[in-house]
Amino acid sequence: MSNKAAREKLIFALDMGKGLDEAMSWVRRLTGHVGVFKVGKEAFTRFGPKLVQEIQETGSRVFLDLKFHDIPNTVARAAEGAVEMGVAMFNVHTLGGKSMMEETAKAVREMARKRNLPVPLVLGVTVLTSLNDDDLRALGFSYSTAELVLRLARMAQDAGLSGVVASAQDVEAIRGACGKDFVIVTPGIRGSARVSGDDQKRTLTAEEAIRRGSDYLVVGRPIQTAADPVAAADELCQEIARGLDAR
């Protein structure tokens, strides 16, 4: 598998920096080494749509990771805003319910058609990778993590979403239930070195995640905290390429 194909599957989590210039310095440093930049709550709260615009002006794609979760009308209107920003993908919480997801998917298609813009991938967040079975029991869920993820993934697909955000440990089950065209974006990717202050509990390496069927991998701290972030990104792309070849 080519390095370019592998690189397109690597998403860098751009949630750091004390100012817009510092955030954009990471974009300039990693452009050509990662395929997508993820703008999450931390970065978007600080820098807003201007950060999205400046990333796009470099020719890079944006994953808007705000995890919309509200009543159907509110989420649908927020989704329209994401379409108008031109992001490549964004996400909603599947626990917002099927009606919320259906209205959002419909609003995205209609806004893209109205504005003559590309239709972004709309992803459903299943169970955060910081949660495990004990956490779900404490929250009152009777399902295991694996059971709840699969149930929510099927609901997202039935509602018309493009795919889900899910742990690599759940990828094979989701792929079996939802088919080869359902997009799976996987956070919690780690290398062999332990990341300081890590709060992720359900993790895998990049090669393992891709081999199991992930379409995109979200990586933050393993690149950000590396002695050579560009080299770390390139090594991850090599792992992705090996995972693709092993499928």
68 annotated binding-site participant: yes
Between CA 8 and CA 5 the distance in angstroms is 5
Residue 201 marked as a ligand binder: no
Residue 74 annotated in ligand binding: yes
67 is in an annotated binding site: yes
Q: Which of 4, 41, 67, 245 is catalytic?
A: 67
Catalytic residue among 9, 65, 170, 234: 65
The Cα–Cα gap between 23 and 93 comes to 26
141 marked among binding-site residues = no
Q: In terms of C-beta density within 10 A (0-12 exposed, 13-18 middle, 19 or more buried), how is residue 100 classed?
A: buried
d(CA 201, CA 133): 10
228 is a catalytic site residue:
no
DSSP, res 194: P
Q: Was 157 annotated as part of a binding site? A: no
180 is an annotated ligand-binding site residue? no
Please tell me whether 38 is known to bind a ligand: yes
In angstroms, the CA 24 to CA 19 distance is: 9
The answer on whether 73 is annotated among ligand-binding residues is: yes
Question: Residue 65 annotated as binding?
Answer: yes
- For 48, other C-beta atoms within 10 Å of its C-beta total 12
Q: Exactly one of 9, 21, 41, 70 is catalytic; which is it?
A: 70
Q: Is 198 a catalytic residue?
A: no
**Residue from 180, 181, 149 nearest 167 by CA:** 149
**Spatial distance between the Cα atoms of 235 and 70, rounded to a whole number of angstroms:** 39
Consult the annotation and say whether 114 binds a ligand.
no
**What DSSP element (H or E) covers 15?**
none
| Cβ atoms 204, 171 nearer than 8 A | no
Is 198 part of any known ligand binding site? no
CB contact set of 190 (below 8 Å; sequence gap of 6+): 198, 200, 203, 204, 205, 222
Q: Does the annotation list 69 as a binding residue?
A: yes
Q: Tell me if residue 65 is catalytic.
A: yes
The catalytic site residues sit at 65, 67, 70
Please state the residue numbers annotated as binding site: 15, 38, 65-74, 129, 190, 200, 220-221
Please state the residue numbers annotated as binding site for substrate: 15, 38, 65-74, 129, 190, 200, 220-221
